Structure 1
Amino acid sequence: MPFLREDGAPLDELPLAQRPADGYRFALRAPVVYVDDPSGRRYRAPAAGEGPPPVGITDLASVPTPLWGLIASYGRQSAPAVLHDAQSIAAAALDDDAAALAQRREDDDVFHRALREQGVPVLRARLMWAWVSADRERTYAGWRGWLLLAQVALGVVAVVAAIVLAVVAHPAWLLLAVVPAVAALAWGGLARLVIALTYPLALLGPVLLVQLLAVGVFRVVEAIVELVAGGDVRSVVRPTVLPPDAGDLTGRS
């Protein structure tokens, strides 16, 4: 079992405390250790209190709330997400974009391996890896990171156009869908990231839109009901946050 407690015993639980009690972040109460099989390297996620915040603080998998129905923020991915958050905090503390970028590229690959070792399905693990990797390039790679994301956006348009034109015009238009993969080769070692972002976004885009639309409609209905009931409409926006004038979590009002 790759995830361990500090004493080397298998990690049988994640000791987390919701902080604050109505928030979406968690404090790690005890360190978590991960041993990466390919490199043999030992990674450690420190507990809260071992350093100034945000050390030891995690939001688990950083999935936007409207998409929780597709990829949950916790589950088999929890331990890898906690470790990745710790590594991301350490990389950000380097105050050197080049060093942070190199560190994050390594850490993101470790995150992907940990996800798979925890039994996260191939596609889901790949999407989560691609998401954090895209954010890494945007944050630390400067104009090259933005250029990569722009190419991904153009690639998504090309793939969608290829599918539509193949249906309404001629099947030969499907060849256009190959262009983003060929263009990705210009990125060398980052080609797999460009491909992992482009094709899933193009093919799963309608699913994401339906999910966002469904959540949006529900939020509007929820807000109307809250308004009619005399409640706080703002409480429907972020369901994990307790309104200031609500009762505490013990049930008192």
Structure 2
Amino acid sequence: MPFLREDGAPLDELPLAQRPADGYRFALRAPVVYVDDPSGRRYRAPAAGEAPPPSGITDLASVPTPLWGLIASYGRQSAPAVLHDAQSLSAAALGDRDAALAQRREDDDVFHRALREQGVPVLRARLMWAWVSADRERTYGGWRGWLLLAQVALGVVAIVASIVLAILAGPAWLLLLPVPALAALAWGGLARLVVALTYPLALLGPVLAVQLLAVGVFRLVEAVVELLAGGNVRSVVRPTVAPEPDERAG
């Protein structure tokens, strides 16, 4: 079901205010509603001011700035991201790690369905779901969460190694490719998350490396120019974060 306004009308615009005017967070000016088709449950992202901050405050899709060239922080994913931020705050406010973990697992699946309903491509939606789900397991899963991430890292190494060895020593090494997927079965319901993290990270690793290298070179040149111009070099590192008033270029 499409996103709705509070009065039930289709959401024809996402009312956001940049806070502060040169910052990287946004205040939701009016509530946003989403009805999840499979469950029939109604979700609501409150507007800023309805509850104490950070309720109603969002950074949209929490994509690291160096990767914005691959997945933008806003776009068709904006409404699902705003809703997910609100639900994440709700889970954190429960004060119980197990309860928060259970709620986040449900909310992350809703996030994925909402992304697809908004027309976000399959792979991009899956990657965004995997990213927030990995963060969820790291935050609330305790040692099991860290173990899951360690297995993902080992799986990435195994996939990359099998491809490299296949090139150097023969295609028989490609028989190792299904091993991370088989090992993921030990996680039961989380197996799809392990697979969704492992294989894209291994196969898209070169793309990510090129993107980060390009951004790194640009940031370095930008920092040198800023230094020579007598500006604030620290403003180059995170360009979406506003500098303190005494750090702004004169």
> Do both share a fold (TM > 0.5)?
yes
Amino acid at match of 1:137: E
1:149 aligns with 2:149: yes
Please state if 1:137 is matched with 2:131. Answer: no
Q: Could you tell me which residue of structure 2 aligns to residue 224 of structure 1? A: 224
**For residues 86 and 56 of structure 1, what CA distance do their matches in structure 2 show?**
7
Aligned twin of 1:2: 2
Q: Report SS of the residue matched to 1:13.
A: coil
Residue aligned with 1:34, SS: strand
Aligned-partner Cα distance in 1 for 2:131–2:241: 25
Report SS of the residue matched to 2:177: helix
**Distance in 1 between residues matched to 2:227 and 2:143, nearest whole Å:** 45
TM-score with structure 1 setting the length: 0.96
Q: Does 1:53 align with 2:28?
A: no
Shift of 1:237: 1.1
The amino acid of 1:234's aligned partner reads: R
Q: Are positions 1:111 and 2:103 aligned together?
A: no
Counterpart of 1:29 in structure 2 is 29
CA RMSD of aligned residues (A): 1.0
**Residues of 2 paired with 1:181 and 1:238: CA distance?**
36
* Structure 2 gap ranges (5+): none
Q: CA deviation at 1:242?
A: 3.3
Structure 1 runs (4+) greater than 4 angstroms displaced: none
Tell me the CA shift for residue 31 of structure 1. Answer: 0.2
SS at match of 2:48: coil
Counterpart residue number, 1:250: none
SS of structure 2 residue aligned to 1:17? strand
What is the identity percentage for the equivalent residue pairs of Structure 1 and Structure 2?
90
Give the SS at the match of 1:5.
coil
Conserved? CA contact 1:138–1:146, under 8 Å = yes
SS in 2 for 1:4: coil
Tell me which moved more, 119-128 or 14-23.
Answer: 14-23
Structure 1 residue 241 displacement after superposition: 2.7
Question: Which string of whole-angstrom CA distances, capped at 9 and with x for unpartnered residues, describes residues 84-112 of structure 1?
Answer: 00000000000000000000000000000
Structure 1 gap segments, 5+ residues each: 248-252
Farther-moved stretch of structure 1 (91-100 vs 13-22): 13-22
Distance 1:197 1:169 in 2: 27
Compute the TM-score of the two structures, normalised by the length of structure 2.
0.97
